[in-house]
Amino acid sequence: MKELDTKDAGQFAYAAAMDAQRRNTNNKSRYSQEQIRKALSARDLLDSAFSYTKLYINYRERFIAVKADMARSKGKFSKEVIDLFESNGYLVVSTPQALIVRIAQ
């Protein structure tokens, strides 16, 4: 699992969120239905294995990110889910704010 060092957007948080939402909407058309289904499956697995404050999918230019904010493990099943993602070629990234599963395009 990779760890990222992230920074708070501070006073620009609202503008950053609006820009991310716009890019998310525009980028979704880059992905096939199969890739979107994989993201939905990853979201469902994260929902089963972790407790979180917010769970959502971001469609980026080069990958789909399934993000669980403030994710906390529910038990041994969480480790198995992470191993499953990594064995299927997904990159699992941990930040202080979230757990992110990246599905390459």
Interval 59-72: pLDDT, tens? 999 999 999 999 99
Q: What are phi and psi of 39, to 5 degrees?
A: -65, -40
Rounded-to-integer distance, Cα 13 and Cα 50, Å: 26
pTM of the model: 0.81
Tell me how far the alpha carbon of residue 40 is from its chain's centroid: 11
- pLDDT single digits (tens) 32-57: 999 999 999 999 999 999 999 999 99
Which 8-state DSSP code applies to residue 52?
-
Task: State the DSSP string of 7-31.
Answer: ---GGGHHHHHHHHHHHHHHHGGGS
